[in-house]
Chain A
Amino acid sequence: MMNLRRDVFQAIADPTRRAILLLVASQSLTAGAIASNFDTARPTVSKHLQILTECELLEQEQNGREITYHINAKKMKEVADFIEPFRNMWDDRFNKLESIMQNYKPKK
């Protein structure tokens, strides 16, 4: 369970893979359509798609000669939940800092 989580975590830590997920989240796309959104070489994009598929963030569907990619919403939610607490912890602290300092009156 922990290993699986770490793989998924590493998968979403990469900026290109995050961009791919955002893209596919809005609509299912073929590998070619996804690759056309990046300057990166097509094999590199394919490698990213393979990693995202292996850790089940993306699902493949064969359509004739083309493969279409869908987002796996359930898995995405799990990952978001997983990294969220760390971000939330800092967001809470910084929100507190901001409101304290907005009401701050210098001592005379």
Chain B
Amino acid sequence: MERKTKIDAESGKQELTITREFDLPLDLLFKAYTDAEIVEQWMGTKVLKLENKKHGAYQFETTDPKGNKHGFNGVIHEFVPNQKIIRTFEMENTPFSVQLEFLDFIKLSNDTCKLNIHVVYRSVAQRDQILQLPFAQGINMAHNRLQDIVLKLTK
């Protein structure tokens, strides 16, 4: 599969950009971000609240394989259909501070479009830690799998 998603994280900056082109008309990409049922499907989360308007708020909740619930929330600062969303994003009960996200939805042709997400973090260190999260989780998962195997062997 072609690598379509691009991450740009310049050294020493407390921001990064995520860029992705889609084989989708612009309005369908925007819908994927604003229709609660569809967000649930591709984000793999429960949507508790999603108010698509300026000063609206959103609340997501995911359940990990162990059954622990993780909350995410934010406030929408700007909402322009098929153009942009500016919002905050916060992972609840973590040491990570709130982050600011600028989402730009760009039409490329009638059936293609582009999403540009510019994320600003509280500090360079926090950005780097968040960038490393999936890497760390991957290690944890490998570690857990190893533990499972060891447990089975010792039973």
Whether chains A and B associate is: yes
How many chain-A residues does the 8 Å CB contact rule pick out? 29
From A11, A86, A96, A104, B131 is in contact (CB under 8 Å) with: A86
Q: Are B20 and A94 in contact (CB under 8 A)?
A: yes
| A28→B41 CA distance, assembly (Å) | 47
- 1/0 per position for B1-35, CB-CB distance to A under 8 A? 10111110111100000101011100011011000
| A98→B138 CA distance, assembly (Å) | 24
- Write out the residue numbers on chain B whose beta carbons fall within 8 Å of the beta carbon of A90: 5, 7, 18, 20
Q: Are A15 and B32 in contact (CB under 8 A)?
A: no
From B6, B24, B44, A101 is in contact (CB under 8 Å) with: B24
- Write out the residue numbers on chain A whose beta carbons fall within 8 Å of the beta carbon of B23: 98, 102
Nearest-neighbour CB distance to chain A for B103, whole angstroms, equals 13
Q: Are B131 and A83 in contact (CB under 8 A)?
A: yes
Nearest-neighbour CB distance to chain B for A106, whole angstroms, equals 9
| A1→B19 CA distance, assembly (Å) | 30
- Write out the residue numbers on chain A whose beta carbons fall within 8 Å of the beta carbon of B42: 93-94, 96-97, 100
The answer, yes or no, to whether B68 is at the interface (CB within 8 Å) is no
Residue of B nearest to A106 (CB): B31
How many chain-B residues does the 8 Å CB contact rule pick out? 33
Q: Are A13 and B9 in contact (CB under 8 A)?
A: yes
Nearest-neighbour CB distance to chain B for A9, whole angstroms, equals 7
Q: Are B22 and A82 in contact (CB under 8 A)?
A: no
Residue of B nearest to A97 (CB): B42
- Assess A91 versus B4: contact at CB under 8 Å? Given A6-B128, A97-B42: yes
| A7→B7 CA distance, assembly (Å) | 18
- Assess A87 versus B7: contact at CB under 8 Å? Given A93-B43, A100-B41: yes
The answer, yes or no, to whether A10 is at the interface (CB within 8 Å) is yes
The answer, yes or no, to whether A89 is at the interface (CB within 8 Å) is yes
Q: Are B10 and A87 in contact (CB under 8 A)?
A: no
| A62→B129 CA distance, assembly (Å) | 37
The answer, yes or no, to whether A14 is at the interface (CB within 8 Å) is yes
- Assess A14 versus B3: contact at CB under 8 Å? Given A85-B137, A96-B42: no
- Write out the residue numbers on chain A whose beta carbons fall within 8 Å of the beta carbon of B29: 97, 101
| A95→B21 CA distance, assembly (Å) | 10
Q: Are A97 and B1 in contact (CB under 8 A)?
A: no
Q: Which 3 A-B pairs have the closest CB atoms?
A: A85-B134, A13-B11, A91-B5
- Contacts A6-B128, A83-B135, A98-B22 aside, 10 further interface pairs with beta carbons under 8 A come to A9-B128, A13-B11, A13-B12, A14-B11, A82-B132, A82-B135, A85-B135, A95-B1, A100-B42, A102-B23
